[in-house]
Amino acid sequence: MSRDRGVKPSPPEQVISIIAPGMRVLGDCDAEGAIRVEGTVQGNIRAGKAVVVGKDGFVDGDIFTQDAVIAGRVKGVLRAESRLEIQASSQIEGEIIASRMQLEEGAMLNGTVQMGRDVDSIPRPSDQHHSPIIPEKATED
């Protein structure tokens, strides 16, 4: 039994979720706060506040967040709506979409980069609606 000591839980946007070294996540991660990846994620990551990929971290999927700091490996689309920091130890393969970006010497980046104020006009994944494919009826001539 635990006693209520009047401690209020932290708001979700202030919580940091950690994928620890040696941990592997298969599937998408979604958080209102921040996500720190020190292990492996095979899936997409959405974080309302920030995503940090540590030196030994690996993300095989897309990342969508406000701020991102990358020191490990990312393979996929990386969208940072506010700020992206790519550290010297990082290896990125894919598309980068960011309002602002800092790239340290030594970082490996293979892919396309879109930057600037017009980044907001690029559709976010949740904005893209896919219409169902309805097969056409075969007609007899």
Q: Average pLDDT for residues 61-90, to the nearest whole number? A: 97
Task: From 45, 64, 55, 49, select the one nearest 89 (Cα to Cα).
Answer: 55
Is there a domain that residue 141 lies in?
no
Is there a domain that residue 129 lies in?
no
Q: Average pLDDT for residues 25-50, to the nearest whole number? A: 96
Is there a domain that residue 52 lies in?
yes
Is there a domain that residue 2 lies in?
no
Residue 14 has pLDDT above 90, yes or no: no
Q: Which domain holds residue 76?
A: 12-111
Structural domain count, the chain: 1
Is there a domain that residue 123 lies in?
no
Is there a domain that residue 87 lies in?
yes
What tens digit of pLDDT does each residue of 85-108 get?
999 999 999 999 999 999 999 999
Is there a domain that residue 96 lies in?
yes
Q: Show Cβ contacts of residue 127 under 8 Å, excluding neighbours closer than 6 positions.
A: none
Instruction: Give the pLDDT confidence score for residue 141 in this predicted structure.
Output: 47
Q: Show Cβ contacts of residue 58 under 8 Å, excluding neighbours closer than 6 positions.
A: 37, 39, 40, 41, 72, 73, 74, 75
Is there a domain that residue 53 lies in?
yes
Name the residue with higher pLDDT: 11 or 92.
92
Q: Average pLDDT for residues 117-139, to the nearest whole number? A: 49
Instruction: Give the pLDDT confidence score for residue 135 in this predicted structure.
Output: 41
Q: Average pLDDT for residues 7-11, to the nearest whole number? A: 69
Q: Average pLDDT for residues 68-95, to the nearest whole number? A: 97
Which residues share a beta bridge with 73?
A: 58, 91
Burial 89-113 (b: 16+ CB within 10 A, else e): bbbbebebbbbebebeeebebeeee
